Chains A and B, each alone.
Chain A
Amino acid sequence: MTKQVLQVDRVIIRFAGDSGDGMQLAGDRFTQETAAFGNDLSTLPNFPAEIRAPAGTLPGVSSFQIHFADHDILTPGDAPDVLIAMNPAALKANLPELPRGGTIIVDSDEFTPRNLARVGYTSNPLEDGSLDGYQLHSLPLTTRTTEAIKAALGDKLGGLSRKEATRAKNMYALGLVSWLYNRPTETTLSFIRSKFARNPAVRDANIAAFQAGWNYGETAEAFAVSYQVRPAQMKAGRYRNISGNLALAYGLIAGAQRAGLKLFLGSYPITPASDVLHELSKHKRFGVITFQAEDEIAGVGAALGASFGGALGVTTTSGPGLSLKTETIGLAVALELPLVVCDIQRAGPSTGMPTKAEQADLLQAMFGRNGEAPVPVVAPASPSDCFDTAIEAIRIAVTYRTPVILLSDGYLANGSEPWRIPDIAELPTIDPNFATEPNHETESGERVFWPYKRDPETLARPWAIPGTPGLEHRIGGLEKGDGHGNISYDPANHDLMVRTRQAKVDAIARSIPPLEVDDPTNDARVLVLGWGSTYGPIGAACRTLRQLGIPVAQAHLRHLNPFPPDLGEVLRRYERVLVPEMNLGQLAMLLRARYLVDVVSYNRVRGLPFTAAELVDAITEVVGSLDDDATAGRVDPSRNGHADRSGSGQRMARTRGEDPTTP
C-alpha cells in the first residue's frame, strides 16, 4: 500500500526506557540521522546518576529528547510530540509532559502485572482507557525483536542468549521511528557495523532489529502516515553535530594550538565533566597530556605546575570540585600564571543532583577565594559555543597571565546541536609572549629580570619559563613586592598589589566586544538578559512573543567578569530588565551591586532547563507590569528596574513554547 507522507516543520521526540535499555544510544543515532538529513536540531539527554538504578523503577528511567525542524531552533523543546516508552516506568515518568493528542509508542511486552505494580499502576494503562486521549501504538517490541533476529540468524539466535538478543529492542524502536520520520538509515547501519565489527552475531542482531522496526512501520496498518521534516535553511558550510563537552574539549585543543602551547589537563573524574577528560585523553597526537590526579586539588595543582613550566594548564570539574580547587586558584591569582578552570555546573549544594543542570556556581566562581582574588569568568551559551568560549578563556588566561573560570553546565555538556565547522585560519591567534631577556636595569646598571614588572597596557607580568637562562626567579603565594617580586609585607605595597591585580582583570573589558542586543523592532521596553545555557529557551521565548506582536529585547552575557564595557549603558536603556537564571538570582545580585539597576529576577532551580513557555509567561508578566504602571500613572521614566518578582510565581495561561506549529 502507498502510505501518506505529511510535511511538518518541527517535531519533538522523546525516547524513554530503563537506564539499561539503550535509550541514549537510540537517541544519539536518531540525532545523527537527523543531522545527516540537514535539519536543525537540539537534544537533551536526561539520565539518573546511578549507573544501573533498579530495573523497571521510576528513578531508573533514562530519556533522550530531540527537537528537529526545517528552520533554525534554539532548544530541545518543552514537551514531546512523540513518546517512546520501553516500560511502564518510562510511561509513568514521562506521560505528564506529553500533551493530549501526542503519539505514544510502547513495548507492551513490558507491561506485565509485576512491572505495572512496581511503579504503582493498579490497572494496565494500555487497556484501561486512560490513554484514550493519545495516539497509542502498543506493540510487543521485545517479541518482535527476538523474532526478527531469529529470522535473520536462525532459531539459535546466532549463538546469542535470549537476553542478549532482546537488548537490540532499542534498535527496533529506532528503526520504527526512523521510518515514521523518513530518516536516512545509512548512518545508523554503518554505525552498527563499525561498533560491533568484532562481534558479528551482535552486529547482525542489531541490524536485523533496526530493519525489522523500519519494515514494520512500512507495512503495518497501524501507521497510516509518516512525516517529513524538510532540511533547514542554514548558513552555507560543512556541519556536524556536536555536544557541549566535545566542543569544549576541541576548543581547548584548538586554543592551545593557536597559542603554540602544550595542553596539560589535570583532572579528577566527576559528573558531568568527565567526558572532557575522556575526550582529551584520546588526543595524544596533539601533544595533549592528560593527568588523572588523586583528587581535585592535585588536578588543578598539576595544571598550575605545568603552566609554570610554559604549558597551558587546564583543569575540568563540577561544583564540588571547584570548591576543592579554590585555594589553588587563589595561588594562581597570586602567581599570575595562565590557568583555565572549566566548571561543568550541576545542581548543588554539596553532592546535589549530579546529572541535573544548574547555574548556581556563579558567585563561587566570582568570589570563592580568600582575600581579594579576582578571576575572569566566561560562560558558553550553547553546546557548540563551548568551542569558542574555551578559546576565549585561553586567550584571556594567556594574554593576562591569570586563571580563568569557564562555567558550562550539565545541560550544555550533554546537549547537542549542529555546528558549522570553523576554518582554522579564522580562529584567533594567541601570543604567549614568553620572556627571554632581563627586563629591568638596577641602579648600578645591571640588567636583571623582574618577574612582576608589568606590561603597561594589559598589566600582565612576564611569563619566564624554566630553562630560560638569566631569568631564574622564585614566586609564591606570599605577597610580592611590586616589580621585583620578592616577599614583601610593606602595607603600601600590599594595597598597591591588591589594586593592581583587580585593575588587571578589569582591564580585560577593553578587549571584549560591545554587548550584542537583539531588539529587532528597536522599540522594546523590556530587556531579557541571561548567561550560559539559558540562551536557547530565552531566545525561543522572545521569538514567540515577537510573533505575538510583543516587542522584547534579548542580550546574553559570555563575559561575567569583567562584564562587557557597555553593559551598564545597555541596562539603563530599558525600562525593565528581566534576568532568568537557574539559581536564586546570582547574576541579578552582581548587576544590582555593580550598576545600581533594580533588575527583575526569574529563578527556577529544578535541575532542568527553562521551558520556553514558562519564560514567555515570565516576560509577559514583566511587560504587563509596565502597562499596569502606566494605567495607574506610576511610570517614572527616570527610574528603571522593579522589585524582585521572582517570588510571585504567578502562572499565566500556558503558552506553548518555541513557535506554535505542531505536526
Chain B
Amino acid sequence: MTTTDLPFPGLRGVPTATAPATRKDFTSDQEVRWCPGCGDYAILAAVQGFLPELGIRRENIVFVSGIGCSSRFPYYLNTYGVHGIHGRAPAIATGLATARPDLSVWVVTGDGDGLSIGGNHLLHALRRNVNLKILLFNNRIYGLTKGQYSPTSEVGKVTKSTPLGSLDTPFNPVSLALGAEASFVARTIDSDRAHLTSVLRAAVTHRGAALVEIYQNCNIYNDGAFDLLKDKDTRDEAVIRLEHGQPIRFGRDGELGVVRDPATGSLRIARVDEVGADAVLVHDAHAADPTTAFALSRLADPQTLRHSPIGIFRLVERPAYDDLARDQLDAARAADGPGDLAELLRGTDTWVVGDEA
C-alpha cells in the first residue's frame, strides 16, 4: 500500500487514494441542520473542498468532535466520525491516533467545548503534540444551549445567564495554545475561504498537534461578533495578516506595522512612516522561542478583537507523541523480539507439583 509522504509529512503513514476525489465524495447523505446563515456552513464547505486535495483514502480519515453546534460537523462528512461527549474529543482522538498510525485524525470543537468543559484535554493534547488537526470554532457564545456567554466572550457581555453582564476575563485561544507548548498555532476566519484553506493546508503538512482557531459567526446568538474584522471599511485596520518571513504590516495601504519596543521588548503597533520600514518586525513562525508569537497574540483587544493577527503564529518541529509511543513498541520488539505469552505467564519463580502437564 502506498502511503503519503511529501508534501504532507503530517499524513505520513496514511494510505493514498487510488483515484482523485471530489468535494462530493466527502459529502455525507445527512441533511445539514445548522441555522441558515451560520458560519459553520462556510467552514464545512471549505473542508469538504479541501479534503480531496490531500490525496488520501477517505476511509482513513476520522473526524472526532465533542458537543455543541460545531461538533455536529462529523455527521456531514462522508468519512469515519465520532460525535463524542462534551469537551472530550481530544482525549478520544488521542487514543485513536496513537492506536492507528494510518489515520488522519481531526478534532472539531468550539469555544465552550474546547476551552471550558474540555480545556484540560485540549491543553494536554497540545502539550503532548499528538498528531491531531484541531479546528476550534470560536463564536464567543454558547449556541446549542441558546445563548449563554462562553470563555471567549468579552467582559460585560449581556446574555441569558449574565443579565447584568459577564464578569470573567476571556481566554485568548492562541495565547492559551502557545502557553500549552503547542507546536502549531494558527487563526483564521470563517468567511475568508482562501485564507482558511491555506491554514488547513499548513496544519495538515505539520506533523504533530495543530490548533486552528476559526473565528465563526453565530448569526442567532452573537451576530456580528467579528464584523470589525470582516467589514470592508474596518478590516484592513483591524486584521493583522501574518506571513512567515514577511514584515508584519497592515492597514489599507500597509501604513501600519508591528514593532518591538526596545525598552520593554514587547510589541506595539506603529505607523510605518513614523518608525521606518526597517523597524517593522519580520514574522518568524519557526522561532524556537514562543515569546514573540505570544506577544503577537496579545496585540488583539480582548473586547473588540481589533488588531487580531490571523495566519500561522507558530510552526515548529517537535516529535509527535503518537509516533514516539509507537517507536517505543518497535524498539522493544527490535531489542527483545515479540512478546511470548507463555513465557510471560511462567515468570521466573515457579515450582512444579506432580507431573507438569
Knowing A335-B82, A472-B59, A474-B81, say if A36 contacts B95 (CB, 8 Å): no
Find residues 289-320 in chain A having any chain B CB closer than 8 Å to their own CB: 289, 291, 293-295, 297-299, 301-311, 313
Residues of B within 8 A of A250 (CB): 344-345
Docked-complex contact A304 and B350, CB < 8 angstroms: no
Known contacts: A294-B124, A295-B120. The answer to whether A309 contacts B341 by CB under 8 A is no
Asked if A478 is an interface residue, CB under 8 A from chain B, the answer is yes
Q: In the bound complex, what is the Cα–Cα distance between A477 and B68 (angstroms)?
A: 12
Within 8 A of B (CB), among A4-42: 32, 35-38
A487 to B102 alpha-carbon distance, docked (Å): 28
A421 adjacent to B346 (CB under 8 Å): yes
Instruction: Please state if B357 and A301 are interface contacts (CB–CB under 8 Å).
Output: no
In the complex, what residue of chain B is closest to A471 when comparing beta carbons?
B59
A285 to B329, CA, bound (A): 6
The closest CB in chain B to the CB of A231 belongs to B353
A500 within 8 A of partner (CB):
no
| Cα A421 to Cα B93 with chains together (Å) | 38
Stretch of A237-245, A490-498, A523-531 on the interface side: A237-245
Does B94 count as interface, using CB distance less than 8 angstroms?
yes
Q: Please state if B332 and A284 are interface contacts (CB–CB under 8 Å).
A: yes
Contact A293 B85 (CB under 8 A): no
Q: Is there a chain B Cβ closer than 8 Å to A257's Cβ?
A: yes
Within 8 A of B (CB), among A79-97: none
Stretch in contact with the other chain, from A462-470, A511-519, A550-558, A589-597: A462-470
Whether A467 lies near B349 (C-beta < 8 A) is no
Contact of A477 among B60, B85, B347, B354 (CB under 8 A): B85
The chain B residue sitting closest to A464, CB to CB, is B80
Number of interface residues of B (CB under 8 A): 67
CB distance from A232 to the nearest CB of B (A): 8
B30 at the interface (CB under 8 A from A): yes
**Which of B71-79, B207-215, B216-224, B265-273 forms contacts with chain A?**
B71-79
Residues of B contacting A304 in the complex (Cβ-Cβ under 8 angstroms): 92, 95
Cβ–Cβ contact A264 & B81, under 8 A: no
Contact-residue bracket for chain A: 35 or more
Does A51 interact with chain B (Cβ within 8 Å)?
no
Given contacts A254-B341, A476-B83, contact A289 B353 (CB under 8 A): no
In the assembled complex, the Cα of A283 lies from the Cα of B337 at a distance in Å of: 11
Shortest beta-carbon distance from A185 to chain B in Å: 14
Contact of B353 with A305 in the complex, beta carbons under 8 Å: no
B91 interfacial by beta-carbon distance below 8 Å? yes
Chain A hits for B90, CB < 8 A = 298
- A328 part of interface (Cβ distance < 8 Å): yes
The answer to whether B99 and A309 have CB atoms under 8 Å apart is: yes
Q: Which residues of A contact B97 (CB under 8 A)?
A: 305
CA distance A241 to B96 in the complex (A): 36
In the complex, A250 Cα to B80 Cα: how many Å? 33
Whether A363 is near chain B, meaning CB under 8 Å from some CB there, is no
Q: Is the CB of B336 within 8 A of A238?
A: no
Contact of B252 with A by CB under 8 A: no
- Is B338 interfacial (CB 8 A cutoff)? yes
| Given A35-B349, A423-B357, also A310-B100 (CB < 8 A) | yes
Tell me which of A299, A301, A421, A466 contacts B103 (CB under 8 A): A466
Does any Cβ of B come within 8 Å of A101's Cβ?
no
Does B346 contact A240, Cβ atoms closer than 8 Å? yes
- Shortest A423–chain B CB gap in Å is 7
In chain A between 209 and 254, which residues have their CB closer than 8 angstroms to a CB of chain B?
231, 234-241, 250, 253-254
Is B82 touching A308 in the complex (CB atoms < 8 A)? yes
A169 CB to closest chain B CB, in angstroms?
Answer: 24
Which residues of the partner chain B approach A299 to less than 8 Å between Cβ atoms? 91
Which residue of chain A has its CB nearest to the CB of B88? Answer: A301
CB atoms of A328 and B88 under 8 A apart: yes
The 8 residue pairs across chains A and B that have the minimum distance between CB atoms = A476-B83, A236-B354, A302-B95, A301-B91, A305-B95, A286-B339, A474-B81, A305-B92
List 16 additional A-B contacts (Cβ < 8 Å) besides A287-B339, A298-B90. Answer: A38-B351, A234-B353, A238-B346, A238-B356, A239-B352, A250-B344, A253-B339, A266-B95, A297-B88, A301-B121, A302-B95, A309-B95, A466-B60, A466-B103, A472-B78, A474-B74
